[in-house]
Amino acid sequence: MPYLFTSESVSEGHPDKVADQISDALVDNFLAWDPQSKIACETLVTTGQVVLAGEVKCNTYIDVQTIAREVIARIGYTKSEYMFEAHSCGVLSAIHEQSADINQGVERKKKEDQGAGDQGMMFGYATNETANYMPLALDLAHNLLLQLSAIRREGKQMKYLRPDAKSQVTLEYDDNNRPVRIDAIVISTQHDDFAEEKAMQERITKDVKTVLIPRILKSYPQYKHLFNEKIKYHINPTGKFVIGGPHGDTGLTGRKIIVDTYGGKGAHGGGAFSGKDPSKVDRSAAYATRHIAKNLVAAGVCDEVLVQVSYAIGVAQPMGLYVNTYGTAKVDMNDGQIAKILEGVFDMRPYFIEERLKLRQPMYSECAAYGHMGRVPVTVDKTFKSADGKTKKMKVELFTWEKLDYVAKVKKAFKLK
């Protein structure tokens, strides 16, 4: 029976995403100067204020206040009328040293015996309904806001746009579990004040349909067949969205974990990513299970898959690996047998995850908005400045868990051509 499924996304100017981006910028700066840093940084943003808290074990000092302000400016909060501005907001740091009790459970004499930084379960998901093996509703929701952000930064059209925005896409699926059309699109974007509210609403609605949507169709022609005149559009449905960002709503690190992952498809273990170094399996194992899931689908083992791994704090070996192919397996074995084979292909001990995915690089700032999964793996040049004026230039690999570098190994393990 056909059904509807919805996913949402939020822009880099959303208060929770502001917090995520600050936390991950701190992670990157700590790792740039000390790759073995242990980090758990939380950020709170509200009207005119930023509060940094958490635990760090590191052999260097970084200027956390300056880093926070740089992130806020880069997002676009640079005007006093936003009531949250990069150079005038207060920044309070309450970051202190990591608990020795936690640290002794993670660090070992042998690196390969490194224990998990926390207990919990992590999930990875992949589906072949898109080229990047992501759920289509979430992929569209992200892309709508990426294009809206590009329009804002270009400053040629929709000049009234402010940084905060949200999107939501509802798809109709057919009896074969395939997306066939877009049922509804929701766009809520912060904007400058208009003299007349009715004129404002009409202008933004028109611009979304005539400026934003055509850019989506041009940039992502593979989605063209899903768009039609029957789509229900809800553009700024409250009627006005001038007050936004951290002034409109307090932001906290880790409150957009479904946006960060699969838009409600598959499952989520509950642990956030941003602000954590890779010894925290909430982050590293979630990336590792996505890596497994994506390579599994790309290898042709199944059309859709959910992979779960779980850990006890301080213990290297995971509690177990679970696989659910939703009945789409192309090999003559059950999901338990598939999981058993995967255990021999992917070493899920924390140290080996870090090594396999090169997670001790300062690679996390780019993850902190528009999703950690489904992105394009790429190598970039980065520059970091220390508190004492030193400069470090590095080549950094981003989104390593999105590589299809294990397809051949998976095919060999499952005897596929």
Check whether 199 is labelled as a binding-site residue.
no
CB 286 within 8 A of CB 261: yes
Residue 34 exposed, middle or buried by CB count within 10 Å (0-12, 13-18, 19+): middle
Instruction: Tell me how far apart the alpha carbons of residues 303 and 298 are, in angstroms, rounded to a whole number.
Output: 8
Check whether 277 is labelled as a binding-site residue.
no
Check whether 101 is labelled as a binding-site residue.
no
User: Which two three-digit tokens encode residue 381?
Assistant: 């040049």
CB 45 within 8 A of CB 85: no
User: Which two three-digit tokens encode residue 198?
Assistant: 């009715």
Q: Is the backbone of residue 323 left (phi > 0), alpha (psi -120 to 50) or beta?
A: beta
DSSP letter, residue 346: S
Check whether 339 is labelled as a binding-site residue.
no
The closest of 351, 328, 348 to 340, measured between CA atoms, is: 348
CB 56 within 8 A of CB 33: no
Residue 229 DSSP SS3 = coil
Check whether 194 is labelled as a binding-site residue.
no
Report the relative pairing of strands 120-127 and 161-173 from DSSP bridges: unpaired
Check whether 17 is labelled as a binding-site residue.
no
Check whether 98 is labelled as a binding-site residue.
yes
Phi, psi of 306 (to 5 degrees): -120, 130
Check whether 408 is labelled as a binding-site residue.
no
Check whether 14 is labelled as a binding-site residue.
yes
Check whether 240 is labelled as a binding-site residue.
yes
Check whether 156 is labelled as a binding-site residue.
no
Q: Is the backbone of residue 24 left (phi > 0), alpha (psi -120 to 50) or beta?
A: alpha
Check whether 5 is labelled as a binding-site residue.
no
Check whether 166 is labelled as a binding-site residue.
yes
Phi, psi of 323 (to 5 degrees): -130, 135
Check whether 164 is labelled as a binding-site residue.
yes
Instruction: Tell me how far apart the alpha carbons of residues 149 and 368 are, in angstroms, rounded to a whole number.
Output: 15
Check whether 112 is labelled as a binding-site residue.
no
Check whether 255 is labelled as a binding-site residue.
yes
User: Which two three-digit tokens encode residue 410?
Assistant: 């998976």
CB 237 within 8 A of CB 254: no
CB 396 within 8 A of CB 360: no
Phi, psi of 42 (to 5 degrees): -110, 145
Sequence ranges of the binding site: 14, 16, 42, 55, 98, 164-166, 240-241, 249, 255-256, 272, 276, 280
Sequence ranges of the binding site for Mg(2+): 16
Sequence ranges of the binding site for K(+): 42
Sequence ranges of the binding site for ATP: 14, 164-166, 240-241, 249, 255-256, 272, 276
Sequence ranges of the binding site for L-methionine: 55, 98, 249, 280
